[in-house]
Structure 1
Amino acid sequence: MRAMTGASSGPDVTLRLWGRRANRGSGGLPGEGRWFAIMWLVAACLCSASMLQGADEWPGWRGPNRDGKSPDTGLLKEWPEGGPPLLWEVNDIGKGFSSVAVSGGRVYITGDQNGRLYLFAFDLEGNQLWKVDVDAAWTRSHPGARATPTIDGDNLYLLSGNGLLVCCDAATGRLKWKRSAKQFGGRPGGWGYAESVLIYRNLAIFKPGGQRCIVALDKRSGKPLWASSGFSAGPEYSSCIAVEFARRSLIITGTREGLVCVDARSGRLQWLNNWSARNTANCPTPAYADGYVFWANGYGKGGVCVKLTASRRRVLGRQVWTTKDMVCHHGGYIIDKGYIYGNHNNGWSCLDLKTGRVMWNTRGVGKGSLCYADGMLYLFAERGGRAALATCSPRGLEIKGRVEVEGSGPSWAHPVVIGGRLYLRYDTNLYCFDVRAGRELTSR
């Protein structure tokens, strides 16, 4: 069953670099005056839209909490022969490696077509609502759309491979404001900018790289509020996460110089772990649970685990273990009940979060990406379009169903499970499967 890929129930809105050129003078970063403290306190007292996402919301990269875990329940524990029922597919979203965001009854994704980066919106039946032109496509190493859109209430945020950050109306794609990484002295790594914008309270956070490696903007206006200090690093390809620890608000991310943690109010450096510094490429997003931060990378590097402690003045990060049993290129990892599950070279591993002890290594579907939902792991191979449902247990990985989708080349998009649906993006194609339990199941 295919979606009506040619249908469009909304205008073909074109978003180009309209409006005035960004004022470089406005890129100056204000100090922490009283006005900023008041603004922060107000924001802290209010729950941001991202904290109030509904049960069927996957507002951006790695889900509601950026941990790769879905709030869905009532899902299949085993798939029928041939895989779960296919609800719809779209075959012309352009080349890319980005994942879907699902919010407000819309499915958002990006793709490169004819030298341009486009943002697409579909309804939940796979009908195209609109398509907007965001920026020139990244055309150097590994061309294709990179970042996953981030939805926060009525706004959508996206960073292009060239470093253009746009804020658009989530309903129409209309441009509200834009900023460039160049305004903050940043320049892309060899594979372009690939991170997904983090929305935290009143902040839109991304990494231009350089002396002002991490920058926080007012999410409503795009006005710069702070830039990180105390270190300089290339941006690399990892996205930021927000962590609350010991009554402190922290932003943690991977950079060219390693794993860094800054204060979410000021951007001041809290700690930097350089175990992965100068690796060929640092791509995955860090994972946090129970006072521990885990970050694994590919190219033979492996993973590092940092334990957080709080002093009177700042939060400290102490390296507690490293491992070569989770060499993770792009596919990521999740933490559940004290165990880390993730891609390791051409297979999968489970590690104890506190000690790094290897619980198991197995091939599964081969090298790929994953997400977690309702006690199960959803695995998606980097090549060949193979996806699988598997148990999530430190006792071992048991495959409970398989399905294949079409595409070519490497797939670095992560699977998404939300609203009882599994979304798989492979190359120019997007697939949506029904993975709800308690229904008469018929595979494709």
Structure 2
Amino acid sequence: MSLLKRFFCHLPALGFIALGLGLQAADWPQYLGPGRDAVYPGQALTRAWPSGGPKVLWRKRDIGAGMSGLVVAKGRVILFHEVNRYDTIECLDVKTGKSLWKNNYASSFVAGYGSSAGPRATPAIIGDRVYTMGGQGIVVCTDFATGKTIWKVDTQKSYRASDGFFGMACSPLVEGNAVLLNIGGEAGAGIVALDKNSGKLLWKTLEDEASYSSPVLATLHGKHRAVFFTRTGLAVIDPASGKIDFQNRWRARIHASVNAAAPLVVGERIFVTSSYNTGALVVQAATDGYETLWSNDTSLSSQYTSVMHRDGFLYGTHGRADAPPTPALRCVELATGKVRWSEDDFGDCLMMLCGDRLLALMETGELVLGQASPAGWKEISRAQVVGSGARSQPALANGRLFVRDRNQLVCLEMP
């Protein structure tokens, strides 16, 4: 089995918008949560779980294929999956799991390198609309109340976008009137902005191929910016015009590689990380541009897991899912790259922070809760909550955790 094929067996779905749009304070409306930083804004998780694990509130069996993450807003959950060769956007009731509506379209996507079928990118719930992108690059805007299609754009036909090694995986980022996506299209359509109301092109820029990372928003040196981590590297862009502020090539020298973790912005600093002998990079916005603070391949080189920040420290995994050694969980100083501690052989996982609690969904289907601080790692609880092959970013909203594997979606009570 090739390294790329083995890698993709572990690749997850690659999905400040909350109170102003009528969402509850602790909703999880888009990839990595309301701030796209894998930080839960609700009540901290302070209690250990019962011996049998968190209480199962409901379970939806026999779901379709895909690695798209789950999103939650206004008492509803969006599940994006492939059912009988149709990409299906399905809306469920948060309390019961009952299906409220479905919107689907025929999917011609064929996963490469032996990877599994279905969509990869995580939806975004913005106001009264849901934005999705399937594995073959079809972008759909759906009415959140009714499930009816408002508009649909095939980026492969319109911009000659490529599904790359494993399918398109950029989770839509909505800013102002634009839906921002790294699609890797031709003729300067590496990154595009589509009108959120019509799907029409607002601007396009760069020749960069698409990565499996998703963009984030930031204010850098007083300017509102979108930060992308394309297959080529870091790009800081004006979301209103597409004007490039800054680029830094940051990718492996070998072709058989990917950039997958989302960029992380802390104040004026931007952190990106990759594997394949590439490593981590931190740049800082300055009056005359951007400067590199540090870079190395020894501190926090994550193959796909997005890194989180708390009080000046980064928390994430170091290592590859498809090659030994098993990834370690690490705490690293943001300012210097110094490793504070390393929990070796931690494993492949997707994570989020809830106060000083770190919640990790392991690829094996285990859920791990621990206390993460610069002083060290302390595991609090561990439970098997789903089967193996858990590669979709979970969602935590209003005391409920939503987790999926290859076959089921589970809603858990988080005390």
Please show how residues 347-426 of structure 1 align to structure 2 within 5 Å: 347-363=328-344, 365-382=346-363, 384-408=364-388, 410-426=389-405
**Number of aligned pairs?**
383
Which deviations, in whole Å up to 9, do the C-alpha atoms of 1:240-294 show, x marking residues without a partner? 1111122211111111211111122211111111132556011111111121111
CA contact (8 A) 2:19 2:25 kept: no
The answer to which of 190-199 and 244-253 deviates more is 244-253
SS in 2 for 1:120: strand
Which deviations, in whole Å up to 9, do the C-alpha atoms of 1:74-129 show, x marking residues without a partner? 53332222222111111122122111100111001111222222111110121121
Please show how residues 195-206 of structure 1 align to structure 2 within 5 Å: 195-206=170-181
Where structure 2 has 5 or more consecutive residues not aligned to the other structure, the ranges are 1-15, 320-326
Query: What is the Cα-based RMSD across aligned positions, in Å?
Result: 2.0
2:251 to 276, 279, 291: 276
What amino acid maps onto 2:236 in structure 1?
C
Quickly say closer, same or farther: Cα 1:137–1:122, change in 2 above 3 A: farther
Please show how residues 12-51 of structure 1 align to structure 2 within 5 Å: 51=20
CA contact (8 A) 1:348 1:367 kept: no
What amino acid maps onto 1:140 in structure 2?
A
TM-superposed deviation, 1:373:
1.4
Q: Does 1:131 align with 2:106?
A: no
Question: Which residue does 1:295 correspond to in 2?
Answer: 272
Quickly say closer, same or farther: Cα 1:334–1:103, change in 2 above 3 A: same
Question: Which residue does 1:165 correspond to in 2?
Answer: 139
CA contact (8 A) 2:18 2:34 kept: no
TM-superposed deviation, 1:304:
1.5
Instruction: Return the alpha-carbon distance in structure 1 between the equivalents of residues 105 and 253 of structure 2.
Output: 31
TM-superposed deviation, 1:137:
5.4
Quickly say closer, same or farther: Cα 1:275–1:208, change in 2 above 3 A: closer
Question: Which residue does 2:192 correspond to in 1?
Answer: 215
TM-superposed deviation, 1:220:
1.4
Q: Does 1:151 align with 2:125?
A: yes
Instruction: Return the alpha-carbon distance in structure 2 between the equivalents of residues 270 and 319 of structure 1.
Output: 18
Where structure 1 has 5 or more consecutive residues not aligned to the other structure, the ranges are 1-46, 437-444
Instruction: Return the alpha-carbon distance in structure 1 between the equivalents of residues 118 and 275 of structure 2.
Output: 20
Instruction: Return the alpha-carbon distance in structure 2 between the equivalents of residues 202 and 246 of structure 1.
Output: 23
What amino acid maps onto 2:208 in structure 1?
A
Which deviations, in whole Å up to 9, do the C-alpha atoms of 1:317-369 show, x marking residues without a partner? 53532233323222221111111101222221111111100011114752211
Instruction: Return the alpha-carbon distance in structure 1 between the equivalents of residues 345 and 393 of structure 2.
Output: 16
Instruction: Return the alpha-carbon distance in structure 2 between the equivalents of residues 198 and 223 of structure 1.
Output: 16
SS in 2 for 1:406: coil
TM value normalised by structure 1: 0.82
Quickly say closer, same or farther: Cα 1:290–1:118, change in 2 above 3 A: same
Which deviations, in whole Å up to 9, do the C-alpha atoms of 1:125-166 show, x marking residues without a partner? 211212221340532221232111100011100011101111
Instruction: Return the alpha-carbon distance in structure 1 between the equivalents of residues 75 and 345 of structure 2.
Output: 33
Quickly say closer, same or farther: Cα 1:51–1:325, change in 2 above 3 A: farther
Question: Which residue does 2:153 correspond to in 1?
Answer: 179
CA contact (8 A) 1:305 1:322 kept: no
What amino acid maps onto 1:284 in structure 2?
A
2:55 to 80, 85, 88: 85
Instruction: Return the alpha-carbon distance in structure 2 between the equivalents of residues 212 and 317 of structure 1.
Output: 27
The answer to which of 161-170 and 176-185 deviates more is 176-185
Instruction: Return the alpha-carbon distance in structure 2 between the equivalents of residues 341 and 362 of structure 1.
Output: 11
Quickly say closer, same or farther: Cα 1:48–1:258, change in 2 above 3 A: closer
TM-superposed deviation, 1:416:
2.1
CA contact (8 A) 2:18 2:24 kept: no
Question: Which residue does 2:64 correspond to in 1?
Answer: 94
Which deviations, in whole Å up to 9, do the C-alpha atoms of 1:188-229 show, x marking residues without a partner? 21111011100112211112214221111221122221212x
Question: Which residue does 2:90 correspond to in 1?
Answer: 120
Instruction: Return the alpha-carbon distance in structure 2 between the equivalents of residues 288 and 187 of structure 1.
Output: 28
Instruction: Return the alpha-carbon distance in structure 1 between the equivalents of residues 297 and 19 of structure 2.
Output: 33
Instruction: Return the alpha-carbon distance in structure 2 between the equivalents of residues 274 and 357 of structure 1.
Output: 23
Please show how residues 316-335 of structure 1 align to structure 2 within 5 Å: 316-318=290-292, 320-335=294-309
Please show how residues 234-245 of structure 1 align to structure 2 within 5 Å: 234-245=209-220
TM value normalised by structure 2: 0.87
What amino acid maps onto 2:318 in structure 1?
H
Instruction: Return the alpha-carbon distance in structure 1 between the equivalents of residues 239 and 406 of structure 2.
Output: 35
Instruction: Return the alpha-carbon distance in structure 2 between the equivalents of residues 49 and 71 of structure 1.
Output: 10
CA contact (8 A) 2:299 2:338 kept: no
TM-superposed deviation, 1:50:
7.1
Quickly say closer, same or farther: Cα 1:269–1:277, change in 2 above 3 A: farther
Instruction: Return the alpha-carbon distance in structure 2 between the equivalents of residues 329 and 48 of structure 1.
Output: 27
Quickly say closer, same or farther: Cα 1:49–1:325, change in 2 above 3 A: closer
CA contact (8 A) 2:281 2:292 kept: no
Identity %: 31
TM-superposed deviation, 1:381:
0.9
The answer to which of 316-325 and 351-360 deviates more is 316-325
